[in-house]
Amino acid sequence: MTPQLQQAIRLLQLSSIDLQQEVVQMLESNPMLELEESTEEADKDFGRPASVSDTWQDYHSAGQGSSSWDGESFDFEAGSSEEDSLQDHLFWQLNLTPMSERDKSIALTIIDAIDANGMLSIDIDSILAGFNPDAGVGPDEVMAVLHRIQQFDPIGVGSRDLSECLLLQLGQIADPALERRAEYAKLIVKDHLDLLASHDYAQLMRRTRLRETELGETIRLIESLNPRPGAHISPAAASYVIPDVFVSRDPVSGAWRVNLNSDSAPRIRINEDYAALASTSGGGNDGSYLRSNLQEARWFLKSLQSRNETLMKVAAKIVERQQDFLEFGEEAMKPLVLHDIAEAVDMHESTISRVTTQKYMHTPRGVFELKYFFSSHVATTGGGECSSTAIRAIIKKLIAEENAGKPLSDSKITALLQQRGIKVARRTIAKYRESLAIPPSNERKRLAPPAPG
């Protein structure tokens, strides 16, 4: 492949954020390129939506569009409010707690060993091993300090296992109306947590001698506790998605329209003064430098244009094939593979794979990666095909509407789908259910809440 073709392929597979960084780097390294100032007329041209039935040539003739992007990178994380880590939160409380220097040294070691979920990641022996034997620190001292830290906010922090974490939280319940239920909960958490995890309610009722209604209320109290008390103190870093295309419905004609996001990458152009200087310069080093950069700039702009054209073609065809999804939701998703789009736009499947990776479409139903619209198919009794995405949506809906006391088994879901004309094996149902992070029926069983009044 030529260097120019390699560059075009590389730009094609970049996400919007990566493309912005690539353009910034090119602006900094190539003096021939400059940001193009946005004009109202250019914005107006670019804003003309492309129908799924329009050809790209009709759309592209309206102009390349413009952007309000000013070329300056913006750090979203730096602009957001700074959040303390769990360790910072615990250190702050430690500084407010009266404690000897010896105990404070032990507390610092313990806090350093607490993970992001609030659990103690090492055992007491490992904590003791971190101290000089001459210091004479014993396990009783470590346990005493650990118990003090376990009273810090959030309650349950510093626990050595799930049972201890839940017991600490149950011990803080001060509502007289919940005291009796809390005692039952402590019994289950301390001695029968394995039965609760396996949803063996019959065995739980025999072991605890609780009636079904009492057991149900106790389980709901346990489920209200936080098994990861530190997680909300150290939230995961937010990830940002910039849509590459926007999909909307024309309020007059009702047709679906596809627009490229003009702000996903800055609009750049060749500096005319430098380009003229390159054409009039001699054959020296300066002239060669200018002409080389001019050629590089032209190829870069051509690669950007090719990327936009390809993205628009593919997005328009996806919308054309998946209009039922846009109108009715996941259950109406049609089967679609890379070959279908590749054939429709006369491109290779590898090109379609690159253009649908890390590219996002903003629709009235949410923001989706372009790859989301591709799925395999399952045959129907009527001779048609049903998308695997649609089947997952149906499974999710059936389970959401099931009787919690008698959840649907995979075999029952298979039978219900066959009633809808969808032929699918039980093992396939199990695979789809697992992909949705839905547990099997025996783990979904719940005791019915008491009747009101």
Please give, one letter per residue, the 3-state secondary structure of 46-102: HCCCEECCCCHHHHHCCCCCCCCCCCCCCCHHHHCCCCCCHHHHHHHHHHCCCCCHH
pLDDT single digits (tens) 4-55: 778 888 888 888 888 888 998 999 999 999 988 755 444 444 444 555 654 4
Beta pairing, strands 268-270 & 256-260: unpaired
- What pLDDT does residue 1 have? 61
- What pLDDT does residue 287 have? 81
- Amino acid residing at 447: L
24 and 67 assigned to the same domain: yes
Residue 59 has pLDDT above 50, yes or no: no
DSSP secondary structure code for residue 177 in this structure:
G
User: 436: domain CATH number?
Assistant: 1.10.10.60
- What pLDDT does residue 3 have? 79
257 and 366 assigned to the same domain: yes
Residue 241 has pLDDT above 50, yes or no: yes
- What pLDDT does residue 143 have? 95
- What pLDDT does residue 74 have? 44
400 within a domain of the structure (yes/no): yes
- What pLDDT does residue 170 have? 95
Q: Which of 114-128, 253-267, 333-347 has the lowest mean pLDDT?
A: 253-267
**Bond before 154 cis per omega within 30 degrees:** yes
- What pLDDT does residue 83 have? 63
- Amino acid residing at 394: I
Judging by beta carbons within 10 Å of its beta carbon (0-12, 13-18, 19+), is residue 61 exposed, middle or buried?
Answer: exposed
383 and 363 assigned to the same domain: no
Residue 200 has pLDDT above 70, yes or no: yes
Q: Which residue has the higher pLDDT, 381 or 148?
A: 148
- What pLDDT does residue 263 have? 79
pLDDT single digits (tens) 85-95: 899 999 999 99
Task: Write the DSSP assignment of 203-230 as a string of letters.
Answer: HHHHHHT--HHHHHHHHHHHHTS-S-TT
284 and 297 assigned to the same domain: yes
DSSP secondary structure code for residue 119 in this structure:
B
125 and 206 assigned to the same domain: yes
314 within a domain of the structure (yes/no): yes
Tell me if residue 236 falls in helix, strand or coil: coil
Average pLDDT of the chain is 85
80 within a domain of the structure (yes/no): no
270 and 282 assigned to the same domain: yes
User: 223, 257, 288 — which closes off a domain?
Assistant: 223
pLDDT single digits (tens) 117-163: 999 999 999 999 888 888 788 999 999 999 999 999 999 999 999 99
Residue 75 has pLDDT above 70, yes or no: no
449 within a domain of the structure (yes/no): no
Domain that holds residue 412: 375-444
189 and 256 assigned to the same domain: no
For residues 318 and 325, give the distance between their C-alpha atoms in angstroms, rounded to a whole number: 11
Number of compact structural domains in the chain: 3
User: 320, 349, 371 — which closes off a domain?
Assistant: 371
For residues 161 and 121, give the distance between their C-alpha atoms in angstroms, rounded to a whole number: 9
97 and 218 assigned to the same domain: yes
Determine the angle formed by the axes of helices 426-435 and 388-400, rounding to 10 degrees: 80
For residues 242 and 436, give the distance between their C-alpha atoms in angstroms, rounded to a whole number: 25
For residues 238 and 121, give the distance between their C-alpha atoms in angstroms, rounded to a whole number: 25
Average pLDDT over residues 102-107: 94
100 and 175 assigned to the same domain: yes
170 and 255 assigned to the same domain: no
Residue 330 has pLDDT above 60, yes or no: yes
pLDDT single digits (tens) 284-329: 788 888 889 999 999 999 999 999 999 999 999 999 999 999 999 9
- What pLDDT does residue 450 have? 59
- Amino acid residing at 202: A
229 within a domain of the structure (yes/no): no
Residue 69 has pLDDT above 80, yes or no: no
Of 371, 345, 342, 368, the residue nearest 356 (C-alpha)? 371
For residues 124 and 161, give the distance between their C-alpha atoms in angstroms, rounded to a whole number: 13
Structure confidence at residue 235 as a pLDDT band (50, 70, 90): low
247 and 153 assigned to the same domain: no
Residue 452 has pLDDT above 70, yes or no: no
Of 195, 213, 212, the residue nearest 204 (C-alpha)? 195
User: 192, 223, 254 — which closes off a domain?
Assistant: 223
453 within a domain of the structure (yes/no): no
Percent of the chain past pLDDT 70, that is, above it, reads 86
Residue 429 has pLDDT above 60, yes or no: yes
- What pLDDT does residue 243 have? 92
Angle at the Cα of 367 from the Cα atoms of 362 and 369, rounded to 5 degrees: 100
The tokens for 251 are 């309020």
**Whole-Å CA distances, 223 to 177, 185, 218, 233, 316:** 17, 10, 9, 20, 46
78 within a domain of the structure (yes/no): no
111 within a domain of the structure (yes/no): yes
Q: Which residue has the higher pLDDT, 144 or 381?
A: 144
255 and 216 assigned to the same domain: no
For residues 383 and 111, give the distance between their C-alpha atoms in angstroms, rounded to a whole number: 63
**Whole-Å CA distances, 67 to 36, 157, 266, 267:** 8, 49, 6, 6
Provide Rg for the chain, Cα atoms. Answer: 31
Q: Which of 256-265, 328-337, 400-409, 432-441 has the lowest mean pLDDT?
A: 256-265
